[in-house]
Amino acid sequence: MTLHKRLQKDLEIGFVKNSILDDKDKAIIEVLVKNAKTTTTDIAHKLKISDVASRRRIKRLEENKVIEFYTAIVNPYKLGYNAVVQLMIEVEPKRIEEVAEKIAELSQTVNVYAVTGKYSIIAEVWIKNHKELLRLIREIGEIEGVKSTLPLVTTKFFKINGLKVSMDMDETPQQP
């Protein structure tokens, strides 16, 4: 199901309350999610609206924080990282935010989420080798409030930011 169809379905069954999005806005979002470099002229052409209307709608989506960032999906293996690891981190309940902030400052950290369940933080890290992973796990374990960590090594990506992709460890760059 495309993002546009999912948003439409959510609106129909009431999951998205007080939504400021109409079908054109949702279509713009879907185009930009697939390719953030799409020009307003190309968006206007695809949606059969004027370039001015396209720019105005995108500006409104940005002002209302529907669109917060434009980003690229990069292949960590092509950048020299040999592993992408999801670290499940069990933290004392009163320290979740404090610990998450400290983890977010680490250079290997790509994403940090507070979640429900036994593990209250998930941190995605990109590492070059297992030694670096062990050092990182020890460093995180020494943060006050951290009770335990569980590393999960990603073996293949299937979908990132709503886009189907195919990246796996076989694409790891060869060392010269």
Q: At the topology level of CATH, where does 3-63 sit?
A: Arc Repressor Mutant, subunit A (1.10.10)
- Helices 23-34 and 51-63 cross at an angle (nearest 10°) of 80
CATH number of 76-171: 3.30.70.920
Q: Locate CATH 1.10.10.10 in the chain.
A: 3-63
pLDDT for 8: 59
pLDDT for 174: 40
| pLDDT tens digit sequence for 122-152 | 999 999 999 999 999 999 999 999 999 999 9
Q: Locate CATH 3.30.70.920 in the chain.
A: 76-171
pLDDT for 4: 56
CA distance 100 to 93: 12
As to burial, measured by CB atoms within 10 angstroms (0-12 exposed, 13-18 middle, 19+ buried), residue 132 is: middle
Q: Report in angstroms the alpha-carbon separations of 60 from 20, 37, 118, 127.
A: 10, 18, 39, 38
Higher pLDDT, 173 or 100: 100
pLDDT for 49: 95
Band of residue 162 on the pLDDT scale cut at 50, 70, 90: confident
pTM of the model: 0.72
